[in-house]
Amino acid sequence: MECMIAPLTILEEDDRLFQSTIRQFAKEQIGPHVRAMDEAGLFSKDLIKQFFQLGLMGIEIPEEYGGQGGTFFQSVLAVEELASVDPSAAVIVDVQNTLVNNAILRWATTGQKSRYLRRLATDTVASYALSEAGSGSDAFALTTRATQQGDQYILNGRKLWITNAAEAGFFLVFANTNPDVGYKGITAFIVERGTEGFSVGKKEDKLGIRASSTCELILDNCRVPTANVLGEPGHGYKIAIETLNEGRIAIGAQMTGLAQGALQHAIAYAKERKQFGKTIAEYQGIQFELAEMATMVESARLLVYNAARLRQAGRPFLTEAAMAKYYASQIAETVASKAVEIHGGVGFTKDYPVEKLYRDAKIGRIYEGTSNMQRITIAKKLLG
């Protein structure tokens, strides 16, 4: 028996209908495959095709390019609803929409938009390649180099922990064209799979979000046309900062959705499990735990929605995004842990989905800006 509790936050009618559609899709189409994909460490190609058919991979892309012509807030809603069933599904859609699509929409030339936006909306998964072995929280310490030779750039280096890499048809790769000026030499390149000198390397065997691919990229004299520079040479740091700031809102949504899913499973189990002649939901101790979990989830949701709406309105949102990402990732781990405990012994087995959500929650405090980096951002605002 499943118990669904509706989020308390009020939405506009269009957004509510959009949310309801994604919720139903996630439950009916993704839900039956979650465990198998997690165990195999592989996301279903058929589900990715359905993502495109439903318009989930091009939410903000204009209709003229085959996209949905939707909003950033709808991208956030989609990530949240998918995460309540499978956070791996959510991060695939997240990277496509809030990082790659937004970067192309904002920075690409007319020719680049014509060449790539329709593919992004209809059939091509994309990947965002910034991180390296020595470039994590210090994102601009990257060592990948790009040297111009005529109408090409020659890229050399390695990228690590790159989401969607196994499925992607092209990659937004950051490399430094002028190391002497530091981060001001960082440039963004659109690199297509199959490009000479480019290959996808080792796939990571991860604790959580296992169905979402995370791989190494190898650039060995990779030849990229100058026409594939996104923005201008040296503007890569600006592209990265702006997209990651927005992406953190969606990670907050992913963690909020995960926590919502864990809460729903805990409620359903508490109503079924009997001890000493009555369901455990009838005991005040369990009721208090569920009430606390629900309050955490709704608080995180409000932070995420606030940051998303500020961004959509064109208002400053950096601090609010940091708060949303920081808090949602904290409560996701807490709520998932409490859900395991409410399930008792079976919660520690793979027979119930809460153990997977608990594993999936850990990455929220790490990727797209660690919790400590979010604290720093928040503190800087507070201290002026």
Cβ neighbors of 64 (< 8 A, separation 6 or more) are: none
Show the tokens assigned to 326: 């920081």
User: How big is the CA angle at 325 (ends 367 and 373), to the nearest 5 degrees?
Assistant: 60
Phi, psi for 159 (deg, rounded to 5): -115, 145
Distance CA 304, CA 380 (A): 20
Show the tokens assigned to 301: 């949701």
Sign of the dihedral through C-alpha 379, 382, 383, 384: positive
Task: Tell how strand 170-176 and strand 126-129 pair up.
Answer: parallel
Say which amino acid occupies 286. I
Number of Cβ within a 10 Å radius of residue 95: 25
Residue 317 DSSP label = -
Sign of the dihedral through C-alpha 212, 208, 330, 368: negative
Number of H-type helices and E-type strands within the chain: 12, 10
Which residues is 154 bridged to in the sheet? 147, 223
Residue 204 DSSP label = P
Distance CA 268, CA 3 (A): 5
Distance CA 306, CA 191 (A): 34
Cβ neighbors of 119 (< 8 A, separation 6 or more) are: 169, 170
Q: So which residues are the catalytic ones? A: 368
Show the tokens assigned to 289: 């735990």
